Structure 1
Protein backbone atom coordinates (compact mmCIF):
# COMPACT_ATOMS: atom_id res chain seq x y z
CA UNK A 1 0.00 0.00 0.00
CA UNK A 2 3.00 2.30 -0.11
CA UNK A 3 1.80 3.61 -3.46
CA UNK A 4 -1.44 4.80 -1.91
CA UNK A 5 -1.76 7.91 0.27
CA UNK A 6 -4.43 7.30 2.90
CA UNK A 7 -6.52 10.12 4.27
CA UNK A 8 -6.91 8.49 7.72
CA UNK A 9 -5.21 5.74 9.74
CA UNK A 10 -5.99 2.16 8.78
CA UNK A 11 -8.45 0.82 11.41
CA UNK A 12 -6.49 -2.34 12.20
CA UNK A 13 -6.93 -2.03 15.98
CA UNK A 14 -10.71 -2.08 15.71
CA UNK A 15 -10.76 -5.18 13.52
CA UNK A 16 -12.04 -8.23 15.43
CA UNK A 17 -13.42 -10.23 12.54
CA UNK A 18 -13.38 -10.40 8.75
CA UNK A 19 -16.49 -9.16 6.99
CA UNK A 20 -18.43 -11.57 4.81
CA UNK A 21 -20.07 -9.71 1.93
CA UNK A 22 -22.22 -10.54 -1.07
CA UNK A 23 -23.30 -8.47 -4.07
CA UNK A 24 -20.35 -6.16 -3.47
CA UNK A 25 -19.82 -3.66 -6.26
CA UNK A 26 -16.36 -2.96 -7.66
CA UNK A 27 -16.48 0.55 -6.18
CA UNK A 28 -17.50 -0.76 -2.74
CA UNK A 29 -14.71 -3.37 -2.83
CA UNK A 30 -12.10 -0.70 -3.63
CA UNK A 31 -13.30 1.94 -1.17
CA UNK A 32 -14.16 -0.31 1.77
CA UNK A 33 -11.43 -2.95 1.59
CA UNK A 34 -8.72 -2.53 -1.06
CA UNK A 35 -7.77 1.09 -0.33
CA UNK A 36 -7.94 0.71 3.47
CA UNK A 37 -5.94 -2.51 3.22
CA UNK A 38 -8.52 -4.74 4.93
CA UNK A 39 -9.36 -8.41 4.28
CA UNK A 40 -12.82 -9.49 3.19
CA UNK A 41 -14.63 -12.73 2.40
CA UNK A 42 -16.79 -12.59 -0.72
CA UNK A 43 -19.55 -15.16 -0.47
CA UNK A 44 -20.66 -15.05 -4.09
CA UNK A 45 -17.67 -13.92 -6.18
CA UNK A 46 -17.07 -17.47 -7.48
CA UNK A 47 -20.74 -18.42 -7.73
CA UNK A 48 -20.55 -18.92 -11.51
CA UNK A 49 -17.40 -21.04 -11.49
CA UNK A 50 -17.96 -24.46 -13.03
CA UNK A 51 -15.32 -25.80 -10.62
CA UNK A 52 -17.74 -25.49 -7.68
CA UNK A 53 -19.51 -28.75 -6.99
CA UNK A 54 -17.23 -30.51 -9.48
CA UNK A 55 -13.77 -30.46 -7.94
CA UNK A 56 -13.74 -33.21 -5.31
CA UNK A 57 -10.92 -35.29 -3.82
CA UNK A 58 -12.18 -38.26 -5.86
CA UNK A 59 -11.92 -36.30 -9.11
CA UNK A 60 -8.33 -35.32 -8.41
CA UNK A 61 -7.44 -38.91 -7.47
CA UNK A 62 -9.01 -40.29 -10.64
CA UNK A 63 -7.60 -37.74 -13.11
CA UNK A 64 -4.37 -36.61 -11.45
CA UNK A 65 -3.55 -39.37 -8.98
CA UNK A 66 -0.06 -39.81 -10.48
CA UNK A 67 1.10 -36.26 -9.71
CA UNK A 68 3.59 -35.97 -6.88
CA UNK A 69 4.70 -33.50 -4.22
CA UNK A 70 7.52 -33.68 -1.69
CA UNK A 71 6.47 -32.69 1.84
CA UNK A 72 9.01 -32.67 4.68
CA UNK A 73 11.36 -34.95 2.78
CA UNK A 74 8.75 -37.51 1.73
CA UNK A 75 7.20 -37.78 -1.72
CA UNK A 76 3.45 -38.36 -1.97
CA UNK A 77 1.22 -38.97 -4.97
CA UNK A 78 -2.08 -37.16 -5.33
CA UNK A 79 -3.82 -40.54 -4.97
CA UNK A 80 -2.03 -41.25 -1.69
CA UNK A 81 -2.89 -37.86 -0.24
CA UNK A 82 -6.56 -38.18 -1.19
CA UNK A 83 -6.71 -41.58 0.54
CA UNK A 84 -5.14 -40.06 3.67
CA UNK A 85 -7.56 -37.13 3.55
CA UNK A 86 -10.53 -39.46 3.25
CA UNK A 87 -9.33 -41.92 5.92
CA UNK A 88 -7.17 -40.00 8.39
CA UNK A 89 -5.34 -41.79 11.18
CA UNK A 90 -6.19 -40.29 14.59
CA UNK A 91 -3.27 -38.23 15.88
CA UNK A 92 -1.44 -38.32 12.56
CA UNK A 93 -1.68 -35.03 10.61
CA UNK A 94 -2.43 -35.08 6.91
CA UNK A 95 0.67 -34.14 4.84
CA UNK A 96 0.40 -30.41 4.11
CA UNK A 97 0.67 -28.34 2.09
CA UNK A 98 0.02 -30.65 -0.84
CA UNK A 99 -0.04 -27.88 -3.43
CA UNK A 100 0.48 -27.86 -7.18
CA UNK A 101 0.99 -25.14 -9.78
CA UNK A 102 -2.22 -25.09 -11.83
CA UNK A 103 -0.54 -23.53 -14.86
CA UNK A 104 2.01 -26.36 -14.98
CA UNK A 105 0.19 -29.42 -13.59
CA UNK A 106 -3.28 -28.98 -15.05
CA UNK A 107 -3.57 -25.78 -17.14
CA UNK A 108 -6.81 -27.04 -18.66
CA UNK A 109 -8.52 -26.39 -15.32
CA UNK A 110 -8.05 -22.62 -15.53
CA UNK A 111 -11.19 -22.41 -17.66
CA UNK A 112 -13.14 -23.68 -14.63
CA UNK A 113 -12.27 -20.57 -12.58
CA UNK A 114 -14.05 -17.93 -14.62
CA UNK A 115 -15.05 -15.19 -14.45
CA UNK A 116 -11.91 -14.25 -12.52
CA UNK A 117 -12.35 -12.32 -9.30
CA UNK A 118 -11.14 -8.76 -9.69
CA UNK A 119 -9.57 -6.96 -6.74
CA UNK A 120 -10.60 -3.59 -8.12
CA UNK A 121 -7.73 -2.94 -10.53
CA UNK A 122 -6.35 -4.87 -13.55
CA UNK A 123 -4.07 -7.75 -12.55
CA UNK A 124 -0.54 -6.76 -13.56
CA UNK A 125 0.82 -10.30 -13.15
CA UNK A 126 -0.39 -10.91 -16.69
CA UNK A 127 0.87 -7.64 -18.15
CA UNK A 128 2.92 -8.35 -21.31
CA UNK A 129 5.70 -5.95 -20.26
CA UNK A 130 6.20 -7.51 -16.83
CA UNK A 131 9.43 -9.51 -16.88
CA UNK A 132 8.97 -13.07 -15.62
CA UNK A 133 12.24 -12.56 -13.76
CA UNK A 134 10.40 -10.16 -11.47
CA UNK A 135 8.06 -12.92 -10.31
CA UNK A 136 11.04 -14.99 -9.04
CA UNK A 137 9.31 -18.31 -9.78
CA UNK A 138 6.27 -17.28 -7.75
CA UNK A 139 3.29 -19.58 -8.34
CA UNK A 140 0.41 -17.41 -9.50
CA UNK A 141 -2.35 -20.05 -9.47
CA UNK A 142 -2.01 -22.89 -6.96
CA UNK A 143 -4.34 -25.67 -5.80
CA UNK A 144 -4.10 -26.96 -2.21
CA UNK A 145 -5.47 -30.25 -0.88
CA UNK A 146 -5.71 -30.83 2.87
CA UNK A 147 -7.59 -32.69 5.55
CA UNK A 148 -8.39 -32.77 9.25
CA UNK A 149 -5.38 -31.79 11.31
CA UNK A 150 -3.61 -29.97 8.49
CA UNK A 151 -2.15 -26.54 9.04
CA UNK A 152 0.20 -24.39 7.03
CA UNK A 153 3.69 -24.94 8.49
CA UNK A 154 4.45 -21.31 9.33
CA UNK A 155 3.05 -17.84 9.82
CA UNK A 156 4.06 -15.68 6.88
CA UNK A 157 3.55 -12.76 4.52
CA UNK A 158 3.21 -13.78 0.88
CA UNK A 159 6.18 -13.57 -1.46
CA UNK A 160 7.00 -10.29 -3.21
CA UNK A 161 4.26 -8.53 -1.23
CA UNK A 162 1.62 -9.84 -3.61
CA UNK A 163 -2.05 -9.66 -2.68
CA UNK A 164 -3.76 -12.99 -1.99
CA UNK A 165 -7.06 -14.44 -3.14
CA UNK A 166 -8.15 -17.91 -2.03
CA UNK A 167 -11.39 -19.66 -2.96
CA UNK A 168 -12.70 -22.78 -1.25
CA UNK A 169 -13.61 -25.30 -3.93
CA UNK A 170 -14.42 -28.11 -1.52
CA UNK A 171 -14.80 -28.03 2.25
CA UNK A 172 -13.84 -25.18 4.57
CA UNK A 173 -10.61 -23.70 5.92
CA UNK A 174 -9.77 -21.50 8.90
CA UNK A 175 -7.60 -18.45 8.27
CA UNK A 176 -5.66 -16.82 11.11
CA UNK A 177 -4.58 -13.30 10.19
CA UNK A 178 -2.43 -10.64 11.86
CA UNK A 179 -2.51 -7.08 10.56
CA UNK A 180 0.67 -5.45 9.19
CA UNK A 181 1.04 -3.18 12.21
CA UNK A 182 1.70 -6.27 14.37
CA UNK A 183 4.94 -7.10 12.59
CA UNK A 184 7.01 -6.09 15.69
CA UNK A 185 5.41 -9.05 17.52
CA UNK A 186 5.98 -11.59 14.73
CA UNK A 187 9.73 -12.30 15.19
CA UNK A 188 10.59 -12.44 11.47
CA UNK A 189 13.42 -14.81 10.57
CA UNK A 190 16.85 -13.32 9.93
CA UNK A 191 17.14 -14.98 6.52
CA UNK A 192 13.51 -14.38 5.48
CA UNK A 193 11.68 -11.44 6.99
CA UNK A 194 8.37 -12.66 5.55
CA UNK A 195 8.34 -15.78 7.76
CA UNK A 196 7.76 -15.75 11.52
CA UNK A 197 9.80 -17.88 13.91
CA UNK A 198 6.73 -18.36 16.14
CA UNK A 199 4.63 -21.52 16.07
CA UNK A 200 1.30 -19.83 16.64
CA UNK A 201 -0.44 -23.08 17.54
CA UNK A 202 2.07 -23.74 20.32
CA UNK A 203 3.85 -20.44 21.01
CA UNK A 204 6.92 -20.31 23.22
CA UNK A 205 6.26 -17.09 25.13
CA UNK A 206 9.54 -17.28 27.01
CA UNK A 207 11.43 -17.22 23.74
CA UNK A 208 9.02 -14.86 21.97
CA UNK A 209 7.45 -12.72 24.74
CA UNK A 210 6.19 -9.93 22.45
CA UNK A 211 3.96 -12.42 20.67
CA UNK A 212 1.66 -12.23 23.71
CA UNK A 213 0.58 -8.83 22.38
CA UNK A 214 -0.34 -10.16 18.92
CA UNK A 215 -4.06 -10.06 18.19
CA UNK A 216 -5.23 -12.59 15.60
CA UNK A 217 -8.33 -12.31 13.50
CA UNK A 218 -9.78 -15.72 12.67
CA UNK A 219 -12.34 -16.49 9.99
CA UNK A 220 -13.69 -19.73 8.52
CA UNK A 221 -13.99 -19.60 4.75
CA UNK A 222 -16.72 -21.98 3.65
CA UNK A 223 -17.05 -23.89 0.39
CA UNK A 224 -17.76 -21.46 -2.45
CA UNK A 225 -16.45 -18.43 -0.56
CA UNK A 226 -13.35 -16.39 -1.44
CA UNK A 227 -11.07 -14.54 0.96
CA UNK A 228 -9.10 -11.54 -0.27
CA UNK A 229 -6.39 -10.01 1.84
CA UNK A 230 -3.89 -7.34 0.88
CA UNK A 231 -0.14 -7.58 1.01
CA UNK A 232 1.72 -7.48 4.35
CA UNK A 233 -0.96 -9.38 6.27
CA UNK A 234 0.60 -12.19 8.29
CA UNK A 235 -1.41 -15.38 7.94
CA UNK A 236 -1.59 -19.12 8.26
CA UNK A 237 -4.35 -21.72 7.93
CA UNK A 238 -5.89 -24.62 9.82
CA UNK A 239 -8.09 -27.36 8.35
CA UNK A 240 -10.66 -29.60 10.05
CA UNK A 241 -12.13 -31.56 7.13
CA UNK A 242 -11.34 -32.65 3.56
CA UNK A 243 -10.54 -29.43 1.76
CA UNK A 244 -9.56 -28.18 -1.71
CA UNK A 245 -8.78 -24.53 -2.40
CA UNK A 246 -7.26 -22.44 -5.15
CA UNK A 247 -4.96 -19.53 -4.36
CA UNK A 248 -4.13 -16.72 -6.73
CA UNK A 249 -1.43 -14.08 -6.38
CA UNK A 250 -2.46 -10.61 -7.45
CA UNK A 251 -0.51 -7.50 -8.44
CA UNK A 252 -1.97 -4.04 -8.97
CA UNK A 253 -1.35 -0.34 -8.37
CA UNK A 254 -1.61 -0.66 -4.58
CA UNK A 255 1.19 -3.18 -4.10
CA UNK A 256 3.32 -2.31 -7.14
CA UNK A 257 5.87 -0.16 -5.27
CA UNK A 258 6.40 -2.86 -2.60
CA UNK A 259 6.68 -5.53 -5.31
CA UNK A 260 9.35 -3.57 -7.19
CA UNK A 261 11.29 -2.69 -4.04
CA UNK A 262 11.25 -6.30 -2.85
CA UNK A 263 12.65 -7.44 -6.19
CA UNK A 264 15.52 -5.03 -5.59
CA UNK A 265 16.10 -6.12 -1.99
CA UNK A 266 16.19 -9.81 -2.89
CA UNK A 267 18.90 -9.28 -5.54
CA UNK A 268 21.03 -6.38 -4.34
CA UNK A 269 23.66 -8.44 -2.47
CA UNK A 270 24.39 -11.06 -5.13
CA UNK A 271 23.49 -9.16 -8.28
CA UNK A 272 23.72 -5.41 -7.50
CA UNK A 273 23.81 -4.22 -11.12
CA UNK A 274 20.83 -6.38 -12.08
CA UNK A 275 18.98 -5.25 -8.96
CA UNK A 276 19.43 -1.57 -9.84
CA UNK A 277 18.40 -2.17 -13.44
CA UNK A 278 15.24 -4.00 -12.39
CA UNK A 279 14.43 -1.31 -9.83
CA UNK A 280 14.63 1.37 -12.51
CA UNK A 281 12.66 -0.76 -14.96
CA UNK A 282 9.99 -1.53 -12.37
CA UNK A 283 9.48 2.12 -11.48
CA UNK A 284 9.29 3.16 -15.12
CA UNK A 285 6.93 0.32 -15.96
CA UNK A 286 4.72 1.22 -13.01
CA UNK A 287 4.37 4.80 -14.24
CA UNK A 288 3.55 3.56 -17.73
CA UNK A 289 0.91 1.09 -16.51
CA UNK A 290 -0.64 3.74 -14.25
CA UNK A 291 -1.14 5.94 -17.29
CA UNK A 292 -2.33 3.03 -19.39
CA UNK A 293 -4.92 2.02 -16.78
CA UNK A 294 -6.09 5.58 -16.35
CA UNK A 295 -6.79 5.78 -20.08
CA UNK A 296 -8.21 2.30 -20.68
CA UNK A 297 -9.82 1.31 -17.37
CA UNK A 298 -10.53 4.32 -15.16
CA UNK A 299 -11.98 3.53 -11.74
Structure 2
Protein backbone atom coordinates (compact mmCIF):
# COMPACT_ATOMS: atom_id res chain seq x y z
CA UNK A 1 0.00 0.00 0.00
CA UNK A 2 1.40 3.39 -1.01
CA UNK A 3 0.80 5.98 1.66
CA UNK A 4 -0.43 9.35 0.36
CA UNK A 5 2.07 12.20 0.87
CA UNK A 6 1.64 14.18 4.06
CA UNK A 7 1.49 17.95 4.20
CA UNK A 8 5.09 17.90 5.47
CA UNK A 9 6.18 15.70 2.53
CA UNK A 10 4.51 18.10 0.08
CA UNK A 11 6.10 21.13 1.70
CA UNK A 12 9.56 19.54 1.54
CA UNK A 13 9.05 18.54 -2.07
CA UNK A 14 8.11 22.10 -3.01
CA UNK A 15 11.15 23.45 -1.11
CA UNK A 16 13.47 21.06 -2.92
CA UNK A 17 11.99 21.96 -6.30
CA UNK A 18 12.37 25.69 -5.62
CA UNK A 19 15.98 25.22 -4.53
CA UNK A 20 16.73 23.34 -7.74
CA UNK A 21 14.93 26.06 -9.71
CA UNK A 22 17.21 28.76 -8.27
CA UNK A 23 20.38 26.71 -8.75
CA UNK A 24 19.50 26.05 -12.38
CA UNK A 25 19.01 29.78 -13.02
CA UNK A 26 22.46 30.54 -11.60
CA UNK A 27 24.02 27.73 -13.63
CA UNK A 28 22.30 28.60 -16.91
CA UNK A 29 22.35 32.36 -17.31
CA UNK A 30 22.99 34.47 -14.21
CA UNK A 31 26.37 36.16 -13.75
CA UNK A 32 28.38 35.95 -10.53
CA UNK A 33 29.05 39.68 -10.72
CA UNK A 34 27.48 42.63 -12.51
CA UNK A 35 29.09 43.03 -15.97
CA UNK A 36 30.18 46.38 -17.40
CA UNK A 37 29.38 47.87 -20.80
CA UNK A 38 31.77 50.59 -21.94
CA UNK A 39 29.40 52.44 -24.24
CA UNK A 40 25.66 53.07 -24.56
CA UNK A 41 24.12 50.04 -26.25
CA UNK A 42 22.20 49.57 -29.46
CA UNK A 43 18.49 49.40 -28.44
CA UNK A 44 17.78 46.01 -30.03
CA UNK A 45 21.00 44.50 -28.72
CA UNK A 46 20.25 45.80 -25.22
CA UNK A 47 16.80 44.26 -25.30
CA UNK A 48 18.18 40.91 -26.46
CA UNK A 49 21.15 40.78 -24.06
CA UNK A 50 19.80 42.39 -20.89
CA UNK A 51 16.09 43.29 -20.76
CA UNK A 52 14.81 40.02 -22.21
CA UNK A 53 17.06 37.78 -20.07
CA UNK A 54 16.35 40.02 -17.03
CA UNK A 55 20.04 40.56 -16.17
CA UNK A 56 21.65 43.65 -14.61
CA UNK A 57 24.64 45.50 -16.00
CA UNK A 58 26.55 48.73 -15.37
CA UNK A 59 26.93 51.04 -18.36
CA UNK A 60 29.78 53.55 -18.60
CA UNK A 61 29.67 56.69 -20.74
CA UNK A 62 25.89 56.44 -21.08
CA UNK A 63 25.22 59.99 -19.91
CA UNK A 64 28.64 61.65 -20.16
CA UNK A 65 27.00 64.40 -22.21
CA UNK A 66 24.80 65.53 -19.30
CA UNK A 67 25.73 69.00 -18.02
CA UNK A 68 24.67 67.79 -14.55
CA UNK A 69 27.92 65.84 -14.16
CA UNK A 70 29.92 69.06 -13.95
CA UNK A 71 27.23 71.57 -12.95
CA UNK A 72 25.55 69.99 -9.94
CA UNK A 73 27.72 71.46 -7.20
CA UNK A 74 26.13 72.72 -3.98
CA UNK A 75 26.65 76.33 -5.11
CA UNK A 76 24.97 75.72 -8.46
CA UNK A 77 22.05 73.86 -6.89
CA UNK A 78 21.53 76.64 -4.32
CA UNK A 79 21.45 79.22 -7.08
CA UNK A 80 19.20 77.18 -9.36
CA UNK A 81 16.68 75.60 -6.96
CA UNK A 82 17.72 76.69 -3.48
CA UNK A 83 14.40 78.38 -2.73
CA UNK A 84 12.28 75.50 -4.08
CA UNK A 85 10.27 73.64 -1.44
CA UNK A 86 10.73 69.87 -1.83
CA UNK A 87 9.65 66.68 -0.04
CA UNK A 88 12.31 65.16 2.22
CA UNK A 89 12.06 61.83 4.05
CA UNK A 90 13.10 62.09 7.70
CA UNK A 91 13.75 59.08 9.96
CA UNK A 92 15.53 58.55 13.28
CA UNK A 93 17.90 55.90 11.93
CA UNK A 94 18.11 56.22 8.13
CA UNK A 95 15.66 53.39 7.46
CA UNK A 96 12.66 54.65 5.51
CA UNK A 97 10.01 52.22 4.28
CA UNK A 98 11.35 49.38 6.40
CA UNK A 99 10.30 46.86 9.02
CA UNK A 100 10.89 48.02 12.61
CA UNK A 101 9.74 45.45 15.14
CA UNK A 102 6.19 44.51 14.21
CA UNK A 103 5.56 47.62 12.07
CA UNK A 104 6.27 48.68 8.51
CA UNK A 105 7.39 52.23 9.19
CA UNK A 106 7.47 54.98 6.58
CA UNK A 107 9.39 58.23 6.94
CA UNK A 108 8.02 61.56 8.02
CA UNK A 109 7.54 63.54 4.81
CA UNK A 110 8.84 67.01 5.56
CA UNK A 111 8.51 70.04 3.29
CA UNK A 112 11.65 72.17 3.28
CA UNK A 113 13.68 74.27 0.90
CA UNK A 114 16.41 72.67 -1.16
CA UNK A 115 18.94 75.02 0.50
CA UNK A 116 17.88 73.74 3.93
CA UNK A 117 18.56 70.18 2.77
CA UNK A 118 21.98 71.21 1.46
CA UNK A 119 22.76 72.90 4.80
CA UNK A 120 22.25 69.52 6.50
CA UNK A 121 24.26 67.59 3.89
CA UNK A 122 27.17 70.06 4.13
CA UNK A 123 27.11 70.07 7.94
CA UNK A 124 26.24 73.76 8.16
CA UNK A 125 23.18 72.89 10.25
CA UNK A 126 22.91 70.11 12.83
CA UNK A 127 19.59 68.32 12.67
CA UNK A 128 18.34 65.31 14.59
CA UNK A 129 17.28 62.49 12.29
CA UNK A 130 18.44 61.31 8.88
CA UNK A 131 17.38 63.26 5.79
CA UNK A 132 16.90 61.80 2.30
CA UNK A 133 15.36 63.24 -0.87
CA UNK A 134 13.76 60.03 -2.11
CA UNK A 135 10.20 60.86 -3.15
CA UNK A 136 9.45 58.40 -5.95
CA UNK A 137 6.67 60.16 -7.85
CA UNK A 138 8.76 61.64 -10.66
CA UNK A 139 9.98 64.29 -8.23
CA UNK A 140 12.64 65.56 -10.65
CA UNK A 141 9.99 66.58 -13.15
CA UNK A 142 7.36 67.61 -10.59
CA UNK A 143 9.40 69.38 -7.89
CA UNK A 144 12.66 70.32 -9.64
CA UNK A 145 11.84 70.99 -13.31
CA UNK A 146 14.54 73.69 -13.38
CA UNK A 147 17.16 70.90 -13.29
CA UNK A 148 15.82 68.96 -16.25
CA UNK A 149 17.86 71.02 -18.72
CA UNK A 150 20.97 69.47 -17.12
CA UNK A 151 19.85 65.87 -17.78
CA UNK A 152 17.46 64.06 -20.13
CA UNK A 153 13.76 63.47 -19.57
CA UNK A 154 14.22 59.93 -20.86
CA UNK A 155 17.02 57.68 -22.12
CA UNK A 156 16.53 57.54 -25.91
CA UNK A 157 17.97 54.07 -26.54
CA UNK A 158 15.99 52.59 -23.62
CA UNK A 159 12.77 54.26 -24.79
CA UNK A 160 13.40 52.82 -28.27
CA UNK A 161 14.16 49.35 -26.87
CA UNK A 162 10.93 49.28 -24.86
CA UNK A 163 8.75 51.34 -27.18
CA UNK A 164 7.64 53.66 -24.36
CA UNK A 165 8.71 56.60 -22.22
CA UNK A 166 9.51 56.26 -18.51
CA UNK A 167 6.68 56.37 -15.98
CA UNK A 168 8.82 58.42 -13.58
CA UNK A 169 12.11 60.29 -13.39
CA UNK A 170 13.33 60.55 -9.79
CA UNK A 171 15.97 62.68 -8.05
CA UNK A 172 17.89 61.29 -5.06
CA UNK A 173 20.07 63.13 -2.52
CA UNK A 174 20.87 61.95 0.96
CA UNK A 175 23.11 61.34 3.91
CA UNK A 176 25.41 58.32 4.08
CA UNK A 177 23.33 56.62 6.78
CA UNK A 178 20.14 56.76 4.69
CA UNK A 179 19.48 53.16 3.63
CA UNK A 180 16.96 51.67 1.23
CA UNK A 181 15.73 48.38 2.71
CA UNK A 182 15.54 45.30 0.50
CA UNK A 183 12.56 45.24 -1.86
CA UNK A 184 11.65 44.75 -5.53
CA UNK A 185 9.95 46.98 -8.11
CA UNK A 186 7.88 46.27 -11.21
CA UNK A 187 10.04 48.66 -13.26
CA UNK A 188 12.95 48.38 -15.64
CA UNK A 189 15.22 50.78 -13.78
CA UNK A 190 18.08 52.87 -15.17
CA UNK A 191 19.91 54.31 -12.16
CA UNK A 192 22.37 57.11 -12.98
CA UNK A 193 24.85 58.28 -10.33
CA UNK A 194 25.71 61.94 -10.92
CA UNK A 195 28.06 62.38 -7.95
CA UNK A 196 29.32 60.11 -5.19
CA UNK A 197 28.66 56.37 -5.12
CA UNK A 198 25.76 53.96 -4.61
CA UNK A 199 26.31 50.45 -3.24
CA UNK A 200 23.75 47.87 -4.33
CA UNK A 201 23.12 44.39 -3.00
CA UNK A 202 21.13 42.49 -5.63
CA UNK A 203 19.22 39.21 -5.64
CA UNK A 204 17.56 37.75 -8.75
CA UNK A 205 13.83 36.97 -8.80
CA UNK A 206 14.69 33.27 -8.85
CA UNK A 207 16.04 33.62 -5.28
CA UNK A 208 12.55 34.60 -4.08
CA UNK A 209 12.07 31.26 -2.21
CA UNK A 210 14.89 32.21 0.19
CA UNK A 211 13.70 35.76 0.93
CA UNK A 212 11.34 36.03 3.92
CA UNK A 213 8.21 38.16 3.86
CA UNK A 214 5.79 39.18 6.59
CA UNK A 215 2.61 41.25 6.84
CA UNK A 216 3.03 44.41 8.90
CA UNK A 217 0.88 47.16 10.31
CA UNK A 218 1.84 50.36 8.43
CA UNK A 219 2.99 53.31 10.50
CA UNK A 220 4.79 56.64 10.03
CA UNK A 221 7.63 58.29 11.95
CA UNK A 222 6.75 61.61 13.56
CA UNK A 223 9.28 63.88 15.23
CA UNK A 224 7.90 65.49 18.37
CA UNK A 225 8.66 69.03 19.54
CA UNK A 226 11.32 67.63 21.92
CA UNK A 227 13.18 66.11 18.94
CA UNK A 228 12.33 62.51 19.74
CA UNK A 229 10.70 60.30 17.10
CA UNK A 230 7.52 58.35 17.69
CA UNK A 231 5.83 55.72 15.53
CA UNK A 232 2.24 56.54 14.63
CA UNK A 233 0.05 53.73 13.27
CA UNK A 234 -1.95 54.24 10.11
CA UNK A 235 -4.98 52.42 11.44
CA UNK A 236 -7.13 52.73 8.32
CA UNK A 237 -4.50 51.12 6.06
CA UNK A 238 -4.18 47.47 5.12
CA UNK A 239 -1.17 45.47 6.28
CA UNK A 240 1.91 45.74 4.08
CA UNK A 241 3.92 42.73 2.83
CA UNK A 242 7.62 43.48 3.35
CA UNK A 243 11.00 41.82 3.88
CA UNK A 244 12.09 41.83 7.55
CA UNK A 245 15.63 40.63 6.80
CA UNK A 246 18.69 42.90 6.73
CA UNK A 247 20.90 41.39 3.99
CA UNK A 248 24.00 43.08 5.45
CA UNK A 249 23.47 41.28 8.77
CA UNK A 250 20.98 38.46 8.15
CA UNK A 251 19.53 36.67 11.15
CA UNK A 252 20.11 33.13 9.88
CA UNK A 253 18.63 31.52 12.98
CA UNK A 254 15.35 33.27 12.30
CA UNK A 255 15.59 33.00 8.51
CA UNK A 256 17.67 29.87 7.79
CA UNK A 257 16.44 29.66 4.18
CA UNK A 258 18.41 32.83 3.35
CA UNK A 259 21.61 30.75 3.52
CA UNK A 260 20.73 29.54 0.01
CA UNK A 261 20.47 33.06 -1.43
CA UNK A 262 23.37 34.23 -3.60
CA UNK A 263 23.51 38.03 -3.47
CA UNK A 264 25.57 40.08 -5.91
CA UNK A 265 27.15 43.32 -4.69
CA UNK A 266 28.18 46.20 -6.91
CA UNK A 267 29.21 49.83 -6.58
CA UNK A 268 27.96 52.39 -9.07
CA UNK A 269 30.21 55.43 -9.26
CA UNK A 270 29.67 58.93 -10.62
CA UNK A 271 29.09 58.80 -14.38
CA UNK A 272 27.94 55.17 -14.30
CA UNK A 273 24.45 53.82 -14.94
CA UNK A 274 23.05 50.63 -13.43
CA UNK A 275 20.42 48.71 -15.35
CA UNK A 276 18.37 47.12 -12.57
CA UNK A 277 15.86 44.75 -14.17
CA UNK A 278 12.28 44.44 -13.00
CA UNK A 279 11.55 42.18 -10.02
CA UNK A 280 15.18 42.05 -8.85
CA UNK A 281 15.49 42.47 -5.10
CA UNK A 282 17.81 45.29 -4.08
CA UNK A 283 19.21 46.97 -0.98
CA UNK A 284 20.95 50.33 -1.42
CA UNK A 285 23.49 52.43 0.49
CA UNK A 286 25.32 55.56 -0.61
CA UNK A 287 28.20 57.91 0.04
CA UNK A 288 27.35 61.10 1.89
CA UNK A 289 25.70 63.67 -0.35
CA UNK A 290 25.44 61.29 -3.30
CA UNK A 291 23.21 62.61 -6.09
CA UNK A 292 21.45 60.28 -8.53
CA UNK A 293 18.69 60.33 -11.12
CA UNK A 294 16.77 57.22 -12.09
CA UNK A 295 14.29 56.36 -14.82
CA UNK A 296 11.47 53.90 -14.17
CA UNK A 297 10.05 52.17 -17.22
CA UNK A 298 7.03 50.02 -16.47
CA UNK A 299 7.71 46.31 -17.02
CA UNK A 300 5.78 44.17 -19.46
CA UNK A 301 3.17 42.07 -17.65
CA UNK A 302 3.88 39.07 -19.84
CA UNK A 303 4.64 35.41 -19.17
CA UNK A 304 7.77 36.40 -17.17
CA UNK A 305 5.58 38.24 -14.68
CA UNK A 306 3.16 35.31 -14.76
CA UNK A 307 5.98 32.92 -13.83
CA UNK A 308 7.11 35.19 -11.00
CA UNK A 309 3.59 35.26 -9.54
CA UNK A 310 3.64 31.46 -9.56
CA UNK A 311 7.04 31.52 -7.82
CA UNK A 312 5.65 33.90 -5.18
CA UNK A 313 2.73 31.56 -4.51
CA UNK A 314 4.92 28.46 -4.27
CA UNK A 315 7.38 30.27 -2.00
CA UNK A 316 4.47 30.92 0.35
CA UNK A 317 3.46 27.25 0.27
CA UNK A 318 7.02 26.15 1.04
CA UNK A 319 7.07 28.17 4.27
CA UNK A 320 3.75 26.88 5.62
CA UNK A 321 4.05 24.82 8.79
TM-score by length of 2: 0.63
Aligned residues: 235
Which residue number in structure 1 is paired with residue 88 of structure 2? Answer: 69
Q: Which runs of 5+ in 1 are unaligned?
A: 1-7, 127-138, 262-299
C-alpha change, 1:97 and 1:110, in structure 2 (3 Å) is closer
Aligned counterparts of 2:134 and 2:124: Cα–Cα separation in 1: 15
2:71 aligned counterpart, secondary structure: coil
Which residue number in structure 2 is paired with residue 118 of structure 1? Answer: 157
Of 228, 231, 238 in structure 1, the residue corresponding to residue 275 of structure 2 is 228
Aligned counterparts of 2:164 and 2:30: Cα–Cα separation in 1: 31
Which residue number in structure 1 is paired with residue 210 of structure 2? Answer: 185
CA deviations over 1:252-290 (Å, ceiling 9, x no partner): 6xx2437998xxxxxxxxxxxxxxxxxxxxxxxxxxxxx
Which residue number in structure 1 is paired with residue 132 of structure 2? Answer: 96
Does residue 205 of structure 1 match 2:252?
A: yes
Mapping of residues 12-27 of structure 1, within 5 Å: 14-23=30-39, 24-27=41-44
Which residue number in structure 1 is paired with residue 313 of structure 2? Answer: none
Which residue number in structure 2 is paired with residue 52 of structure 1? Answer: 69
C-alpha change, 1:86 and 1:16, in structure 2 (3 Å) is farther
Task: Please list every run of at least 4 consecutive aligned residues from structure 1 whose deviation after the TM superposition is greater than 6 angstroms.
Answer: 258-261
Contact 1:150–1:239 (CA under 8 A) maintained in structure 2: yes
Larger mean Cα displacement after TM superposition, 139-148 or 25-34: 25-34
Which residue number in structure 1 is paired with residue 312 of structure 2? Answer: none
Give 1 or 2 for the bigger CA radius of gyration: 2
Does residue 249 of structure 1 match 2:296?
A: yes
1:197 aligned counterpart, secondary structure: coil
Q: Which runs of 5+ in 2 are unaligned?
A: 1-23, 91-106, 216-238, 307-321
Q: Give the strand-richer structure, 1 or 2.
A: 2
2:69 aligned counterpart, secondary structure: coil
Aligned counterparts of 1:87 and 1:157: Cα–Cα separation in 2: 33
Which residue number in structure 2 is paired with residue 280 of structure 1? Answer: none
Does residue 43 of structure 1 match 2:60?
A: yes
TM-score by length of 1: 0.67
Contact 2:56–2:277 (CA under 8 A) maintained in structure 1: yes
